[in-house]
Structure 1
């Protein structure tokens, strides 16, 4: 009979103290498994997995069915909670040092939207990781929309970005006027060819968020950059329906406030 001695924290601590315990319990919710299969899966010794299974049985989390073990409803209940907790902690660890570069909760953005996201952080040994990830997303879309301060993101990718637009990628960007002027004056010939393609629409807005929102065919991306160094620090991209709904809403909010800038006006910026 399972023991209820101690507190709920004691059982949580028991599962967390060894890395193999929670994965073992979660694996048994998928299908029944033998002790030898669990031993091979976890990489711990046969005596350790035997002791773990015995401790699970003492708590009524699993039962033996022939030579295999399976979870009880109690065990499945605990396993689901632990799997969710592990996923939440993994998400938090990915975002821990870059969260301040991302949208705040006042915008409607939540950490839950990042649960299945790809988080690409600029590291010392891979400072251009977010830019490379952005280019991968750009190559896989036929339509691209962006709102925010995009200079840090698009400037290093300008040649490939412009070529994608020239080749037919339908693009709409909501930019601060200062960024549009900078790009137009720094790369006049490339800008002219890109605008002349008819595939790029530019809208100007004076009060954009300090982060960027990119909307691709199948994913959305949030770009967090350091305004002092003008470098991209993190790119978070996801196919979450909730995140896409948020991104579309934010984009529409700024788009409603910005008329399309005529081609001749952009050329004169």
Structure 2
């Protein structure tokens, strides 16, 4: 489609229009709103919380670019405006997703980058902050509540110890639990909580396995969600927790878990405690 009557703004090409849109918070919002349904200026002021004069200038600039047109007392997006609004919304969504992941990306397994980018927006990222160091653990505990099947690869002491009582409760509720971890981690629980640990191991629905070469991250498979635990190298502190209900991520996590489950061994309580 060729539009010979369109007057381009004096800009610096496409980047000039993008810069104009993102220079003020309300501009993309206004264009997105108008691409959904016509609005009057007063309605736009109320929805964007900006002044009438600002909305008037914004609509004037949009009209110059043929992004909106006036129909009576209302404005609506043209096909060109809707095209731009959709593209900007996609860009903003992608940047929001990237901002969630950038601080934890170096903790994630390399294979995770091979998953399709369509799975990324579904990821919930919970990062430990200086004022809220237990935020990832609290998120994990909330996900663990009420699950009927829990399988975990490298649970780590820092993640599981705050949830130890909840694990016991889940077993009382007949949940099926399998933990694959390093021998040192199993030894910690057996020595720190000997009676309760021994009782858990006697349960038919609880399985504790050891593996010598676990990944640097943890994987949890719950009823409805998958968790990826990011640990600080050396200390094992929980730095972040990622959880999702993405089928693609679950397929990947199931595959990784199964590969380690094949080589995992039942723990020998006497050997560990001794």
| TM superposition score normalised by structure 2 | 0.88
Indicate yes or no: 2:219 matched with 1:213.
yes
For residues 91 and 191 of structure 2, the distance between their equivalents in structure 1, rounded to whole angstroms, comes to 51
Structure 1 residues 258 and 108: CA distance shift in structure 2, 3 A: farther
For residues 167 and 182 of structure 1, the distance between their equivalents in structure 2, rounded to whole angstroms, comes to 25
Deviation at 1:23, TM superposition (A): 1.5
Match of 2:43 in 1: 37
RMSD, aligned α-carbons: 2.2
Aligned 8 A contact 1:61 1:75 in 2: yes
Aligned 8 A contact 2:146 2:170 in 1: no
Query: 1:60 aligned to 54, 66, 72, which one?
Result: 66
| TM superposition score normalised by structure 1 | 0.89
Match of 1:181 in 2: 187
Indicate yes or no: 2:174 matched with 1:168.
yes
Match of 2:3 in 1: none
- SS of aligned partner of 1:115: helix
Aligned 8 A contact 2:9 2:64 in 1: no
For residues 266 and 111 of structure 1, the distance between their equivalents in structure 2, rounded to whole angstroms, comes to 44
Match of 2:241 in 1: 235
Aligned 8 A contact 1:149 1:176 in 2: no
Match of 1:3 in 2: 8
Structure 1 residues 225 and 68: CA distance shift in structure 2, 3 A: same
Q: Which moved more, 1:199-208 or 1:132-141?
A: 199-208
Match of 1:198 in 2: 204
| Structure 1 runs not aligned, ≥5 long | none
| Structure 2 runs not aligned, ≥5 long | 1-5
User: How many residues are matched?
Assistant: 266
Deviation at 1:145, TM superposition (A): 1.4
- SS of aligned partner of 2:178: strand
Deviation at 1:140, TM superposition (A): 3.9
Once the two structures are superposed, the pairs formed by residues 30-109 of structure 1 within 5 Å of their partners are: 30-105=36-111, 108-109=114-115
For residues 181 and 98 of structure 1, the distance between their equivalents in structure 2, rounded to whole angstroms, comes to 29
